[in-house]
Amino acid sequence: MAYTLSNMLPLGTVAPEFTLVDPLDGKKKSLDELKSDQATVIMFICNHCPYVIHLIRDIVDTAEEYMEKGVRFVAISPNDVENYPDDSPDRMALIAKVLQFPFPYLFDETQEVAKAYDAACTPDFYIFDRKMELAYRGQYDDSRPSKDVPVTGKDFKAALDAVLAGDQPSDRQVPSGGCNIKWKK
């Protein structure tokens, strides 16, 4: 699992459309039906990545807090499940149920959505404004599994607060970092 930084998709990019299956209920869900008119968060995560595992409880809590303010969250797992069976749809559904995800956790089987977002790692975070234009792409906070820094979500929450206030988040956006996406051969 090579430590990889996010690619930093250009700010202002319009969110690429997608329709993906939610392993929890087996239904296809599209960005168009999941997005918010306030702010929409797209997260590329997976089940086995220690960087995701390190943050996931706080991500769930943050999602619950900000969903009350009209923000919608969507998690997507893009990994090659043939070589990484821990990230399979049945295990995704189990993780979503056990951790009580308040957001859909979708499976990007073809990896086309991850490519459209220029995703590089898990976790990789994108915040889109009410016009579905990219306002933030970067780290959740300075915490990492190997650092003695508490998980706070300060960078991510500051960006969400700015978007909700109708402002542009700071231009100083630090790339997210984590496990590289497990691309199919």
Query: d(Cα 67, Cα 4) in Å, to the nearest integer?
Result: 29
In a domain, 114, yes or no: yes
Query: Could you tell me the CATH number of the domain that includes residue 11?
Result: 3.40.30.10
In a domain, 37, yes or no: yes
In a domain, 185, yes or no: no
What percent of the chain shows pLDDT beyond 70? 99
Instruction: Count structural domains, the chain.
Output: 1
Per DSSP, the residues of 62-124 read: HHHHHHTTTEEEEEEE---TTT-GGGSHHHHHHHHHHTT-SS-EEE-TTSHHHHHTT--EESE
In a domain, 59, yes or no: yes
pLDDT at 106 over 90: yes
* Per-residue pLDDT tens over the stretch 10-24: 999 999 999 999 999
Domain that holds residue 173: 3-180
Entry pTM: 0.96
Per-residue model confidence (pLDDT) at position 147: 87
pLDDT at 103 over 80: yes
